[in-house]
Amino acid sequence: METVLSANDLCVGYVCRCGVSPIHHHLNFSLRRGELVCLCGANGAGKSTLLRTISKLQPQLAGEITLMEKPLESYSEKELSRTIGVVLTDRAQTGGLTVEEVVSLGRQPYTGFFGRLSTEDKELVKNAIESVGMAEYTKKYMAELSDGERQKVMIAKTLVQECPVVILDEPTAFLDVASRIEITQLLHDIAHTQNRAVLLSTHDLEQALRLSDKLWLLTTHGLQTGSPEELIANHQIDTLFEGRNVYFDEKSGTFRSKSICDR
Amino acid sequence: MSTLLVALFLGNIFCGSVDIPSKEVLNILCGGEATKESWKFIILDSRLPQAITALLSGPALAVCGLLLQTYFNNPLAGPSILGINSGASLGVAVVMLIMGGSVGIGALNFTGFLAVLVGAIIGSLLVMAILLLFSSFVKGNLTLLIIGIMVGYLTSSAISLLNFFATTEGVHSYVIWGMGTFGGVSSAQLPYFSITVLIGLVASVLMIKPLNALLLGERYAENLGVNIRKIRNLILLTVGLLTACVTAFCGPIAFIGLAVPHISRLLIGSSNHTTLLPFTLLTGTVMALLCNLACILPSDGGILPLNAITPLLGAPVIIYVLVNQRKIQYFN
């Protein structure tokens, strides 16, 4: 499978008035087409920082990121908008827009000065809304949708951006179990059937273990990557919550409290 | 809406504190001779420029409100509430003081016009720069609004201090100006005023596409290929130019910028700028003409200050919107 994004010796963190504060050094990873990758880590591990750095919403501190055989830094806004599509946790003021209008915004990298949609654009928008299962909501206002449905609309928006890489920051946070399963399954299908690289951060380890092709574990030791089976077999998954009062139970495939086990 | 606009525009020309028969008005407008020379003067040098000023100021203020509401992701943003027109007022006051304290705006020639306009633009841009600075590290919409209100108070007190050094006449003309009127632009200044405002309005229409992307938030917009720095500066300049120009010549007019975008959203039921922005321009015009008409209608008592009328129309809209925000789509 074709590698679309890779990082070499990457350093991520924040640039603030007081200087540079790195969170992680020497990160190496690659992302391939047709692959669903779940990024897991404890709160504050730097998941969002890493995702924002990869999507160039935040500068990289050192090292290099290669996107489609070109350094990420060399991308113009326009080029990048056709290569990486993002779904963020930012609160948007989209309530007064219809589902169709929001998804159409994803065509902005391709449309002209006033953003007028061509017949093909409209067709793409229609197909994207169908593929996330929101066809009957096309003309509804975003305000009328549940959180899970809004998330599906934002995913449809990235689909019409026609980019090989889709990056999602906690797309299943605040969702009920049913929506979590639906969204993760949807992203899995998108990666496999549309041959895109899908990278998402999540706290939902159960879905991540079940559906992802690869897991990225972000801990204080850095980033460890591998298939879920590998990471469980060589106990790397245990490092995820090191120093906390939990352990990974291989039989059930979930983390459990150590204190209950002692009793 | 367009018919309403035409009707109101004609209303603005046909009605006024001096009764002029409709036939005479038509005659004068068509270039004919009037029975009384003073009537001709009233129509061509007072009512017509005033109506045209309203026709341009309304959409200018309304679109400023819309740009600010979208950019700051804050439904209560507006040029008056964020203190931007106070900034413009300060600029005007400084320029007037430098130029001799008591120069009435109506008497300005082109150089004077330019000086006052530049002063107002610098003042309004300064306030916008302060707001942008705060918005980069202040979390929460309410905080930014309150900072805007505080900046407004600060500039007002600076103006009061300046007035202390001005002549009585200067203070008087400043107080009159502060009440707001669309009658402050003379027919000689009207072309400059119109061109300045039209530049700002055209700029706002050109921003429709990135404005829609900004509805998703800055980071989403960036991911859709919008150059955030560029669009931010463009919004800053446009709002600065429009607010400054209107404030310098009509006084700090409240509520049109705040309320009209809400009225427009409620009427067309969408926050898509492709339709919302042109409609806001239209509603702004209608609103300004309506307010101007309300000011000149009480024919025996002279002219009411504009700022006595705009809150009457604007404040109830804002209260309605706030009370019903759970039911209104664009809030959720």
pLDDT in tens, A8-28: 999 998 877 777 888 898 999
Residues 157 through 216 of chain B touching chain A, CB cutoff 8 Å: 206, 208-209, 212-213, 215-216
What's residue B117's pLDDT?
A: 86
Q: Give yes or no for a contact between A54 and A29, defined as CB atoms under 8 angstroms apart.
A: no
- The whole-angstrom separation of Cα B332 and Cα B328 is 7
Higher pLDDT, B18 or B260: B260
- The whole-angstrom separation of Cα B119 and Cα B243 is 12
**B330/A95 touch (CB, cutoff 8 Å), yes or no:** yes
Residues in chain A with CB shorter than 8 Å from the CB of B332 are 95, 142-143
Size of interface A-B (CB pairs under 8 A): 97
Over pLDDT 70: what percentage of chain B? Answer: 93
What's residue B174's pLDDT?
A: 75
**A108/B225 touch (CB, cutoff 8 Å), yes or no:** yes
Structure tokens at A62: 């050192």
Q: Does the beta carbon of B238 lie under 8 angstroms from any beta carbon of chain A?
A: no
Q: Does the beta carbon of B230 lie under 8 angstroms from any beta carbon of chain A?
A: no
Domain B2-331 classified CATH 3.55.50.30? no
For residue B226, what is the nearest residue in chain A, using CA coordinates? A77
* ipTM (interface pTM): 0.90
pLDDT above 70: residue B300: no
Residues in chain B with CB shorter than 8 Å from the CB of A80 are 223, 225
Question: How high does pLDDT run on average in chain B?
Answer: 86
Nearest Cβ partner of B213 from A85, A91, A108? A108
**B224/A81 touch (CB, cutoff 8 Å), yes or no:** yes
Residues in chain B with CB shorter than 8 Å from the CB of A98 are 270
**A105/B216 touch (CB, cutoff 8 Å), yes or no:** yes
Q: What is the pTM of this model?
A: 0.89
Nearest Cβ partner of B271 from A52, A78, A97? A97
The total number of residues shown for chain B amounts to 332
Question: What is the DSSP code (8-state) at residue B106?
Answer: G
Helices assigned H by DSSP within B138-255: 141-165, 168-179, 190-206, 208-214, 218-223, 228-250
Best mutation target among B202, B206, B224 (most A Cβ atoms within 10 Å) is B224
What's residue B266's pLDDT?
A: 93
**A85/B223 touch (CB, cutoff 8 Å), yes or no:** yes
Residues in chain A with CB shorter than 8 Å from the CB of B329 are 95-96, 141-144
pLDDT digit string, tens, across residues B21-49: 777 777 777 777 777 778 887 888 888 88
Min distance B214 CA to chain A CA atoms (Å):
9
**B223/A94 touch (CB, cutoff 8 Å), yes or no:** no
Place of tokens 């916008």: B128
Total Cβ atoms within 10 A of residue A46: 22
**A57/B269 touch (CB, cutoff 8 Å), yes or no:** no
pLDDT digit string, tens, across residues B58-95: 999 999 999 999 998 888 899 988 999 899 989 988 88
**A86/B274 touch (CB, cutoff 8 Å), yes or no:** no
Partnered with residue A255 across adjacent β-strands are A248
Q: Give yes or no for a contact between A153 and A142, defined as CB atoms under 8 angstroms apart.
A: yes
pLDDT digit string, tens, across residues B185-201: 888 889 989 999 999 99
Residues in chain B with CB shorter than 8 Å from the CB of A93 are 70, 73, 215, 217, 271, 330
Residue ranges per structural domain of chain B? 2-331
**A95/B329 touch (CB, cutoff 8 Å), yes or no:** yes
**B209/A91 touch (CB, cutoff 8 Å), yes or no:** no
What's residue B271's pLDDT?
A: 92
Strand order in A3-16's β-sheet?
A19-32, A3-16, A62-67, A70-71
For residue A57, what is the nearest residue in chain B, using CA coordinates? B219
Q: Give yes or no for a contact between B305 and B180, defined as CB atoms under 8 angstroms apart.
A: yes
pLDDT digit string, tens, across residues B229-268: 899 889 989 999 999 999 988 988 989 999 999 999 999 9
What's residue A240's pLDDT?
A: 84
- The whole-angstrom separation of Cα B274 and Cα B172 is 44
Angle (CA) B255 B260 B265, round 5°: 145
Q: Please, which pLDDT band fits residue B102 given cuts at 50, 70 and 90? A: very low
**A93/B330 touch (CB, cutoff 8 Å), yes or no:** yes
Question: In angstroms, what is the C-alpha Rg of chain B?
Answer: 20
Helices assigned H by DSSP within B37-167: 37-41, 48-71, 84-98, 110-137, 141-165
Q: Of A85-94, A156-165, B100-109, B167-176, which range is least confident?
A: B100-109
Residues 301 through 330 of chain B touching chain A, CB cutoff 8 Å: 329-330
Q: Give yes or no for a contact between A174 and A147, defined as CB atoms under 8 angstroms apart.
A: yes
What's residue B29's pLDDT?
A: 77
**A90/B226 touch (CB, cutoff 8 Å), yes or no:** no
- The whole-angstrom separation of Cα A131 and Cα A186 is 9
Mean pLDDT, residues B320-326 taken together: 88
- The whole-angstrom separation of Cα B220 and Cα A87 is 8
Per-residue pLDDT of chain A (263 residues; tens, 9 = 90+): 789 999 999 999 887 777 788 889 899 999 999 999 999 988 888 899 999 999 998 899 999 999 999 999 999 988 999 999 999 988 778 889 999 999 999 999 999 988 889 999 999 999 999 999 999 999 999 999 998 899 999 999 999 999 999 999 999 988 888 888 989 999 999 999 999 999 999 998 888 998 999 999 998 888 999 998 888 888 888 888 888 888 888 888 788 888 765 54
Instruction: Specify the pairing of strand A62-67 against strand A70-71.
Output: antiparallel
**B209/A115 touch (CB, cutoff 8 Å), yes or no:** yes
What's residue B109's pLDDT?
A: 66
What's residue A261's pLDDT?
A: 55
